[in-house]
A and B are shown apart, each in its own frame.
Chain A
Amino acid sequence: MSPPPVPPLVLISGPEEVLAERARASVVAELRHAAPDLEVIRVEGNTYAAGELVLHTSPSLFGGDKVLVIEGFEEATDALQDDLLSYLAAPEDDVTLVVSHRSGQRGKKVLDTLKKQSARVIDCPAIKSDREKSDFATHEFRRQGRKATPEAVRALVEAVGKDVRELASACGQLVADTDGVIDEVLVEKYHGGKVEASGFRVADAAVAGQTSEALRLLRHAIATGVDPVPIVAVLASQLRQLVKVGSAGRGSSAQLAKELGMAPWQVDKARRVVGGWDAPGLGRAIQAVAAADFEVKGGGRDPVYAVERAVLAITAARHGGAR
């Protein structure tokens, strides 16, 4: 069974650029399969000048099919919208129109008209949470006829999950280079030791008292371009939450969350960690972070060293280290 032919109108809608790019490529490939001498014309929404559309869509003396790909329609000029509307009122026969729209309300009238004229709508939802990224990676492998263990997918997302494009190409590389089921060992071989560390993970490890883990994550974070300033800010806010939760007493986490202006899961997390802390230790940790913040903002010579020392001071304070 062959897929239905591409209709003359296609709408690619959604913010995920990787998916949108793929959709554009596959539509063009499909059309080219049917008509090898297809002419592909690309138009950018924000630099469109009035009249271009007519120029591109009017039939050529030599005939032949055309596909007009409009990118970035969410920033479309008014001229493009007007021209598109008049084109949609009288579409040309051998022209396929592909419109990419990331998000927002701009050009809504055109989008509605497209839908009304039964355009093929391809959704490209944003891939943000780790779960969505795992689903995406799993799908990637399946699409290319390969199987991957859940552990492998998790490790892969952890290593290169910051950018969907990077994740996609990492999947592609694994598929191309290896055979059989993709497992954790394999992912480790290619991406081992690389961890996408954020300030939050550093702070989590630090307040949990895991000195070496916290330092390792900190180095990773700095190496992958996280600025010391937000790391210090996260350290401060985590310690602040510990103090708040620690001195708030009992009560359900939902209730406490409301009182303290935190999210329930933050309360739960702080509760799990706060057991290892005493008041003087927390005090020392906060003082260390404040000193680090000053040094990071020009008070000291080496911002990275300042953060590192703050992390060490925090883990030492947790163990009730000497003053």
Chain B
Amino acid sequence: MTVWDDVVGQPEAVAALTRAVTVPEAMTHAWLFTGPPGSGRSVAARAFAAALQCPDGGCGTCRECRTALDGTHADVTVVATEGLSIKVAEMRALVQEAALKPSVGRWRVIIVEDADRLTAYSDAPANALLKALEEPTPRTVWILCAPSLEDVIITIRSRSRHVRLRTPPAEDVAALLVRRDGIAPAMAMYAARAAQSHVGLARRLARDEGARIRRRDVIAMPGRIRTIGDAIGAAADLASIADEESTAATTERDAAERTRLMEILGADPSARTQPPHIRSQLGALEKEQKTRATRFGRDVVDRALVDLLSVHRDALALHFGAPVALVNQDSIDVVRQLANGQSPERLLHAMDAIGEARERINANVPPLLALEAMTVTLHQGA
């Protein structure tokens, strides 16, 4: 067993990283891991951190390895955001921390899981990081993760070493699910394929019946749109599913966080109105929770759109008889129906519309409106 076990389908990257651990000349102070969502960027980053801390170069069993993989190692800091962006203040605090010597381990490792979100209003958060990358502290390692090179500013790109992760083969992802999560092989294969090798999503699909049902609903959607009323209704359904999931996922947690904050501040939870200084703290928390909910809702919609995209892609593959594995092998009827009902041109138009909707939602267009424009296109063509 080694720390690299969970890094699936990335032999080249693992080879490069192991070399960096064992050969001092191959090591550097800043790494940029890129790869499509779900390819295991953060898993790879943690594995690398563990390998760096481990006396045996990543045995996967010692204390150093285990704590680093869990994210509890004293010298491994993991930064991830659940909001829309990482703020400049957070980044500055991190840069200060980076200047410290490692306390127990061999390296101080700082993992920024969403380096692409270093963009609140400007590039200020990214620029705050730049100084630290420019004048590296000995024995401090930065590991930045982003979907692609273009997602980080060029000055960061040029100061870090690039490790590209590829989309792992569905078979490898399925094998991981079977081995790590004890999922039945057939289900694991279905989930890996349906999630298009996105490890986290595949795991969710394999374990959550509700997620599977929702996915099936989404991919059956194009067949259900017959009138423009249906189109608007389908868009409203998609948007409301996102809302529901977002509330379901956040309500409880929001309340718990609020109670916790009140306890920390020593506020009386039963008071009808809180004193101003407590109100302002609560307000800040609520604001943060709101951006988290927004992000969550958008992610849900985006996932649904990716699923929708996959059926169209499969239908197109059927049209041309392309010898590729279908994403929706299990719902072949839906795919066939779509392929029979639509010309390749219409399918491509539809895919464009879906892509456009994703882009628009990212640019703050209300999801409902973007989805409506999309479903209307699915209904009557561009």
Please state if A290 and B229 are interface contacts (CB–CB under 8 Å): no
Q: Give residues 257-315 of A contacting B (CB, 8 Å).
A: 279-280, 282-283, 286-287, 289-291, 293-294, 297-299
* B372 closest partner in A (C-beta): A286
Assuming the contacts A247-B229, A279-B227, A290-B360, asked whether A236 and B376 have C-beta atoms less than 8 A apart, the reply is: no
CB distance from B85 to the nearest CB of A (A): 15
Please state if A279 and B364 are interface contacts (CB–CB under 8 Å): no
Report the count of interface residues on B (CB-CB < 8 A). Answer: 21
* CB contact between B373 and one of A244, A287, A297 (< 8 Å): that residue: A287
Q: Interface readout for A189-220 with B: 1 if CB under 8 Å, 0 if not?
A: 00000000000000000000000000000000
Task: Determine the distance from Cα of A290 to Cα of B231 in the docked complex, in whole angstroms.
Answer: 14
B365 in contact (CB, < 8 A): yes
Residues of chain A touching chain B, judged by Cβ–Cβ distance below 8 Å, are 233, 236, 240, 243-244, 246-248, 279-280, 282-283, 286-287, 289-291, 293-294, 297-299
Residues of B near A286 (CB, < 8 A) are: 232, 369, 372-373, 376
* CB contact between A290 and one of B232, B370, B379, B380 (< 8 Å): that residue: B370
Closest 5 CB pairs of A and B: A247-B229, A290-B373, A283-B376, A279-B228, A293-B365
Interface of A is mostly: helix
Please state if B369 and A236 are interface contacts (CB–CB under 8 Å): yes
Please state if B372 and A247 are interface contacts (CB–CB under 8 Å): no
* B361 closest partner in A (C-beta): A294
Residues of B near A240 (CB, < 8 A) are: 232, 368, 372
* B230 closest partner in A (C-beta): A247
Interface of B is mostly: helix
Please state if B369 and A290 are interface contacts (CB–CB under 8 Å): yes
B377 in contact (CB, < 8 A): yes
Please state if A236 and B366 are interface contacts (CB–CB under 8 Å): yes
Please state if B373 and A291 are interface contacts (CB–CB under 8 Å): yes
Residues of A near B232 (CB, < 8 A) are: 240, 243-244, 247, 286
Please state if A294 and B363 are interface contacts (CB–CB under 8 Å): yes
* A244 closest partner in B (C-beta): B232
Most buried by A among B229, B231, B365, B377: B365
Q: Give residues 214-265 of B contacting A (CB, 8 Å).
A: 227-232
* B376 closest partner in A (C-beta): A283
Task: Determine the distance from Cα of A2 to Cα of B228 in the docked complex, in whole angstroms.
Answer: 70
Q: A244-B232, A289-B373, A291-B373 are in contact. List 20 more A-B contacts (CB 8 A).
A: A236-B369, A236-B372, A243-B229, A247-B230, A247-B232, A279-B380, A280-B380, A283-B376, A283-B377, A283-B379, A286-B373, A287-B376, A290-B369, A290-B370, A294-B359, A294-B360, A294-B365, A297-B363, A297-B364, A298-B363
Task: Determine the distance from Cα of A299 to Cα of B365 in the docked complex, in whole angstroms.
Answer: 10
Residues of A near B360 (CB, < 8 A) are: 290, 293-294, 299
* B232 closest partner in A (C-beta): A243
CB distance from B98 to the nearest CB of A (A): 33
CB distance from B209 to the nearest CB of A (A): 29
Task: Determine the distance from Cα of A240 to Cα of B235 in the docked complex, in whole angstroms.
Answer: 11
* CB contact between B227 and one of A233, A247, A289 (< 8 Å): that residue: A247
Task: Determine the distance from Cα of A287 to Cα of B360 in the docked complex, in whole angstroms.
Answer: 12
Please state if B365 and A290 are interface contacts (CB–CB under 8 Å): yes
* B229 closest partner in A (C-beta): A247
Please state if A289 and B369 are interface contacts (CB–CB under 8 Å): yes
Residues of A near B366 (CB, < 8 A) are: 233, 236, 293
CB distance from A27 to the nearest CB of B (A): 32
Q: Give residues 55-104 of B contacting A (CB, 8 Å).
A: none
CB distance from B175 to the nearest CB of A (A): 41
Assuming the contacts A294-B360, A294-B363, asked whether A283 and B369 have C-beta atoms less than 8 A apart, the reply is: no
Assuming the contacts A240-B232, A279-B227, asked whether A293 and B369 have C-beta atoms less than 8 A apart, the reply is: yes
Assuming the contacts A236-B369, A240-B372, asked whether A283 and B363 have C-beta atoms less than 8 A apart, the reply is: no
Assuming the contacts A286-B376, A287-B376, A294-B363, asked whether A247 and B369 have C-beta atoms less than 8 A apart, the reply is: no
